[in-house]
Amino acid sequence: MTKAVANINTVINEALKGKDASDIYAVDAAMKAADGTKDKSNLGANAILAVSIASCRAAATALEIPLYRFLGGVNANRLPVPMMNIVNGGCHALSSGLDVQEFMIMPVGAPSFKECLRWCAEVFHALASILKERGLATSVGDEGGFAPALKSDEEAIETILEAVKKAGYEPGSDFMIAMDAASSEWKTGTVGEYKLPKAGTVYTSGQLINHWKALVEKYPIISIEDALDEEDWEGWKKLTAELGDKVQLVGDDLFVTNTERLSKGIELGCGNSILIKLNQIGSVSETLEAIKMAHNAGYTAVTSHRSGETEDTTIADLAVALNTCQIKTGAPSRSERVAKYNQLLRIEEELGASAVYPQKKAFHVSK
């Protein structure tokens, strides 16, 4: 951190003198040139991104417009459907028996963002009540979700669907399920082979694909993130061919918000969606380019937080500005998660009648 601050006050400061803050591509290009490496390792992606965001905010303030309007122009009017993490497993919840890292709800039937947030909070508290009744833990993890000692994907999904019904909503029409497998945590060292650390089960790519297919056929699942390891390109091709028209297949580790990897995935037909994390690529302009490339190829883009977060709300503005139509930013608990939801509520109120909540139109799949 101290090194990043020192770089901002010296090298980056000199590189940006006289630059127009509103020309974010020129600002970012100057910092990348000063860094001189492909991965921003000299100055640090954390330093470059901080200044990139600050430049955007300064320009928006000078123009007396909101950040989402500065980044997205007149087209910035679509609120995102939340991909809300309510059950944690994998390495995010070591006490849980679940190998899948995140089980999430998506309120696709809500009429507005304001209502969708209320719906999610009601399901979250209904789930807490169910877990308490069963004597299971209701403490929350880093992203605000529960980490109960559940034993299988099926048990986790069925418990969530029970909470949806208990809150008075209908699975499939009001709410859909999303999952983050984080299957890179399961790789064995042999591409196309996986070992689930908690269950002890060993899968080939084909067997793991069949597992996802069975879950998709049985439950109202609309999105699976990192269903296979990031280097299992052949597996991803097969997965996309078999499930890509039914569910959203999101690449996080697969693409790492990197246009080179995304371009390869598009060419090979791997996945149909990219997870967007600002600090993976390290500048606002490069993030915009990744989203643009995804949309041009017919891929969806999901704006995302990190497991370690702050109360900065830039990703909320970014989701509206770039019409990503989906956001992944944790449960309706913990202030650093709720900060993003509060900002989206403010944006919806400011947009008024022009605000659009996309519901199932946020997805390019048939389910």
Task: Write down the pLDDT at residue 30.
Answer: 97
Instruction: Give backbone dihedrals phi and psi of 147, rounded to 5 degrees, phi first.
Output: -130, 60
What is the CATH superfamily name and number for domain 74-362?
Enolase-like C-terminal domain (3.20.20.120)
Q: Which of 122, 143, 225, 286 is catalytic?
A: 143
Q: Are 207 and 240 in contact (CB under 8 A)?
A: no
In angstroms, rounded to a whole number, what is the distance separating the alpha carbons of residues 174 and 168?
A: 10
**Which parts of the chain sit beneath pLDDT 70?**
92, 94, 367
Task: Write down the pLDDT at residue 335.
Answer: 82
Beta strands 221-225 and 248-251 are parallel
Q: Which amino acid, residue 255? A: F
Q: Which of 277, 309, 328, 348 is catalytic?
A: 277
Whether 187 is a known active-site residue: answer no
Domain ranges across the chain: 2-64, 74-362
CA neighbor of 194 nearest in space, from 209, 172, 213: 209
In angstroms, rounded to a whole number, what is the distance separating the alpha carbons of residues 317 and 215?
A: 34
Whether 277 is a known active-site residue: answer yes
Instruction: Give the fold, CATH level 3, of 2-64.
Output: Enolase-like; domain 1 (3.30.390)
- Direct distance between the N- and C-terminal alpha carbons of the chain, in angstroms, rounded to an integer: 45
Q: Return the structure tokens found at 278.
A: 């600002």
- Ramachandran area for residue 73 (φ above 0: left; ψ -120 to 50: alpha; else beta): left
pLDDT in tens, 112-140: 999 999 999 999 999 999 999 999 989 88
Task: Write down the pLDDT at residue 92.
Answer: 65
Cα–Cα separations (whole angstroms), residue 307 to 192, 242, 272, 317: 27, 30, 23, 19
In angstroms, rounded to a whole number, what is the distance separating the alpha carbons of residues 201 and 106?
A: 29
